[in-house]
C-alpha cells in the first residue's frame, strides 16, 4: 500500500505541530480512534475517493470501501473479494496480535459468514431454508407477546431505559423462539448472549452457558423435532454436523441481535427526539416500515463489515489492491455517498436499496425478520405507552460512535404506567431477565408456531398522541 499525505481523523488538515487525533505517523487514519465516523469518512472520501487506506488495531493496513458502487462491486464479486479471512496477508505474515479486538470478527470459523462458493451455499442454504418457515403473522404474535411481557416487567414504575429494558432483550427473546427454545428456556439465552456481546469480564463464562444451552437444544430437537430453526438445520439435506448446527444457531442469534437492536433503538430515538421525523410519521407522510428503511439508510446497525479479502491483485476505486489485502465494507459511508444521495436530507420514502443488509451472496437472510420485530415491536410499545417522553434533555443521550456502529447508549423515558398492566403480565415490576415467561411450559416442547395466549385490546392510537405533542 502506498503512503499518502497526512489527513486528520475528521478530514481536515491538522495545524502545524498539532498531533492530529486518530492519525498515525504515516498520515493514515486509525480506525479504533475514530469518534466522529461521518466526518472522518467524508474527509477520507475527499482525500482518496471511494476507497481509502486506513490502519486497524496494531497499525495493520486495510482498505476502507466508502463508495456505494464500490461496496456493491465488492459484495457481489466473491471470486475476487472472498469472505475467507485465512487469505489475509496480515495473518499469513503473523502481524495480527493475539489480543487484537478484531479477532472475534475476523478469525476464520467454520461458519457460512467465512465461506464462499459451494461451502457457503451448503451452510447458508440450511439457515435460509430454516428461516423461511417463519411468516410475518406468526412473528407478529410473538413480538406483541414479548413486548407486553417486557413492559409488564418495567412499566409499573413509569420509567425505563428503552435500550436496556426493551431494544436489547426483545430481538433475542423472539429469535430464541425461532431457534426452537421453549418459552421458559428462551430467557436462559438472553442475558449470557448480551453479556458475551458486551465483551465483559464474564464473557467467556457466558459463552460457555450459551454453548451449553444450544447443545442441549440440539440434543432435545433430535428426539422431538418441531417447526423451528434447530430442527430444520438438523434435518437439512446439507447434512450439517452437530457442531455446525450449534454454531449456526449461535450465529443467527448474534447476527439478529446486532442488526435489530440498533434498528429499534435508533428509530425510537428519532421518534422521541426528532420533530421532523415524528411529524412525518404522525402526518402520514411516512409509515413505520418506511421510517425503518430511512433509519437503515442513515444509521445502519452495522456501520462497517470487516470484511472481504482480495484473492488476487486488482484495482478498485482507483486503488491498487494486493492479493490478501483486507477490505472493510463501510456501509455507513456508502449509504450517504453523494453520487447516490446528493442531498441526504431528502427522505428516501421506503426505498430499500440501502446497503444496511449488505448485498450479494452474503446479503443478510434475516432482514425481513428484523424488520418485522422492529415494526411490530415499536408499534405495540407506542400503543401501550402512548404518552412516553424522554426523561432527560436530548443533549444528554449518550451516543456511541465508532467505525463499527453508531448507537444510543440509553434512552431514558417516562410514561404513565399502563392501567391494564396486570393484564399484560402478572409479574408486575419484576426485572426483565429474571421473570419467567407467561406461557411457561414444564417441558421444552412448545414449538414455534404455537401462538401465545390472547392479548388485551390496544389502547388508543399512538399516532394520534404523536400529533398532540
Ligand atoms: C434488520 C436487522 C438486521 C440487519 C441490519 C442485519 C445486517 C446484516 C449484515 C450487514 C450482515 C453481513 C453480510 C455480509 O457479510 O455481507 C448480516 C449477515 C447475516 N445476518 Fe443479518 N441483519 C439483521 C437481522 C438479522 C436477523 C433477524 C437474522 C436472523 C434471524 C439475521 C441473520 C444473519 C445471518 C445468518 C447472516 C450471515 C449471512 C451470510 O454470511 O451468508 N440477521 N446481517
Domains of the chain: 1-98+303-354 (3.30.43.20), 107-298+356-468 (1.10.630.10)
Query: Which atom from ligand 1 is nearest to the alpha carbon of 111?
Result: 40
- C-alpha 380 – ligand 1 centre gap (Å): 24
**Cα separation, 156 vs 170, whole angstroms:** 18
Pocket of ligand 1 (CB under 6 A): 75, 112-113, 124, 127, 131, 175, 251-252, 255-256, 259-260, 263, 301-302, 305, 356-358, 362, 364-367, 369-371
The bridge status of strand 61-65 relative to strand 326-330 is parallel
Kindly report, residue by residue over 63-99, the tens digit of the pLDDT: 999 999 999 999 999 999 999 999 999 999 999 998 8
- C-alpha 258 – ligand 1 centre gap (Å): 8
pTM of the full structure: 0.87
- Mean pLDDT for 31-45 is 95
Kindly report, residue by residue over 115-139, the tens digit of the pLDDT: 999 999 999 999 999 999 998 778 9
Which of 75, 246, 293, 364 has most ligand 1 atoms within 8 Å of CB, for mutation?
364
Which of 85, 181, 366 has most ligand 1 atoms within 8 Å of CB, for mutation?
366
- C-alpha 368 – ligand 1 centre gap (Å): 10
CA-based torsion, 87, 89, 93, 98: positive or negative: negative
Query: For residue 142, what pLDDT band results from cuts at 50, 70 and 90?
Result: very high
- Compute CA distances 224 → 179, 213, 232, whole Å: 14, 16, 12
**Cα separation, 314 vs 327, whole angstroms:** 12
3-state secondary structure of 35: coil
- C-alpha 364 – ligand 1 centre gap (Å): 4
Query: Which atom from ligand 1 is nearest to the alpha carbon of 83?
Result: 15
Concatenating the DSSP letter of every residue in 66-106 gives --HHHHHHHHH-TTTEES-GGG-HHHHTT-S-TT-TTHHHH
- Mean pLDDT for 207-222 is 95
Query: For residue 227, what pLDDT band results from cuts at 50, 70 and 90?
Result: very high
- C-alpha 130 – ligand 1 centre gap (Å): 14
Question: What pLDDT, on the 0 to 100 scale, is given for residue 189?
Answer: 87
Amino acid at each position: 500500500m502506498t503512503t499518502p499525505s497526512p489527513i486528520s481523523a475528521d478530514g481536515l488538515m491538522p495545524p502545524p505541530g498539532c498531533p492530529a487525533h486518530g492519525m498515525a505517523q504515516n498520515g493514515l487514519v486509525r480506525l479504533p480512534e475514530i469518534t466522529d465516523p461521518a466526518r472522518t469518512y467524508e474527509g477520507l472520501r475527499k482525500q482518496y475517493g471511494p476507497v481509502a487506506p486506513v490502519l486497524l488495531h496494531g497499525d495493520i493496513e486495510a482498505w476502507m470501501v466508502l463508495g456505494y458502487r464500490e461496496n456493491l462491486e465488492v459484495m457481489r464479486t466473491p471470486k475476487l473479494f472472498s469472505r475467507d479471512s485465512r487469505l489475509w496477508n496480515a495473518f499469513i505474515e503473523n502481524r495480527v496480535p493475539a489480543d487484537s479486538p478484531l479477532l472475534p470478527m475476523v478469525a476464520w470459523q467454520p461458519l457460512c459468514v467465512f465461506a464462499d462458493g459451494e461451502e457457503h451455499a451448503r451452510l447458508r442454504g440450511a439457515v435460509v431454508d430454516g428461516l423461511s418457515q417463519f411468516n410475518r403473522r406468526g412473528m407478529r404474535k410473538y413480538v406483541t407477546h414479548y413486548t407486553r411481557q417486557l413492559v409488564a416487567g418495567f412499566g409499573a414504575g413509569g420509567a425505563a431505559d428503552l435500550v436496556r429494558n426493551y431494544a436489547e432483550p426483545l430481538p433475542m427473546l423472539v429469535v430464541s423462539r425461532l431457534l426452537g427454545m421453549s418459552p421458559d428456556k428462551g430467557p436462559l439465552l438472553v442475558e449470557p448472549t448480551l453479556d458475551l456481546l458486551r465483551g465483559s469480564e464474564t464473557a467467556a463464562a457466558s459463552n460457555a452457558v450459551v454453548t451449553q444451552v444450544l447443545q442441549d437444544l440440539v440434543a432435545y430437537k433430535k428426539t422431538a423435532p418441531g417447526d423451528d430453526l434447530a430442527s430444520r438445520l438438523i434435518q437439512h439435506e446439507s447434512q450439517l454436523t452437530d457442531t455446525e448446527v450449534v454454531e449456526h444457531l449461535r450465529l443467527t442469534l448474534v447476527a439478529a441481535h446486532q442488526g435489530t437492536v440498533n434498528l429499534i433503538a435508533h428509530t425510537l430515538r428519532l421518534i422521541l427526539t426528532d420533530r421532523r421525523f415524528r411529524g412525518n410519521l404522525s402526518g402520514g407522510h411516512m409509515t413505520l416500515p418506511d421510517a425503518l428503511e430511512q433509519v437503515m439508510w442513515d444509521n445502519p446497525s452495522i456501520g462497517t463489515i470487516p470484511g472481504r479479502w482480495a484473492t488476487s491483485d486488482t484495482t478498485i476505486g482507483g486503488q491498487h489492491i494486493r492479493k490478501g489485502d483486507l477490505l472493510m465494507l463501510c456501509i455507513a459511508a456508502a449509504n450517504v455517498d453523494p453520487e447516490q444521495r446528493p442531498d441526504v436530507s431528502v427522505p428516501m420514502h421506503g426505498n430499500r436499496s440501502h446497503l444496511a443488509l449488505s448485498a450479494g451472496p452474503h446479503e443478510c437472510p434475516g432482514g425481513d425478520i428484523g424488520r418485522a420485530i422492529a415494526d411490530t415491536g415499536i408499534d405495540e410499545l407506542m400503543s401501550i405507552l402512548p404518552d412516553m417522553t424522554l426523561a432527560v434533555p436530548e443533549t444528554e443521550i449518550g451516543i456511541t460512535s465508532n467505525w463499527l456502529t453508531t448507537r444510543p447508549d440509553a434512552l431514558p423515558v417516562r410514561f404513565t404506567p399502563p392501567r391494564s398492566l396486570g393484564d399484560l403480565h402478572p409479574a408486575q415490576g419484576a426485572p426483565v431477565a429474571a421473570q419467567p415467561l407467561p406461557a411457561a411450559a414444564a417441558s421444552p416442547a412448545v414449538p414455534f408456531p404455537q401462538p401465545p395466549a390472547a392479548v388485551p385490546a390496544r389502547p388508543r392510537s399512538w399516532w394520534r398522541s404523536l400529533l398532540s405533542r
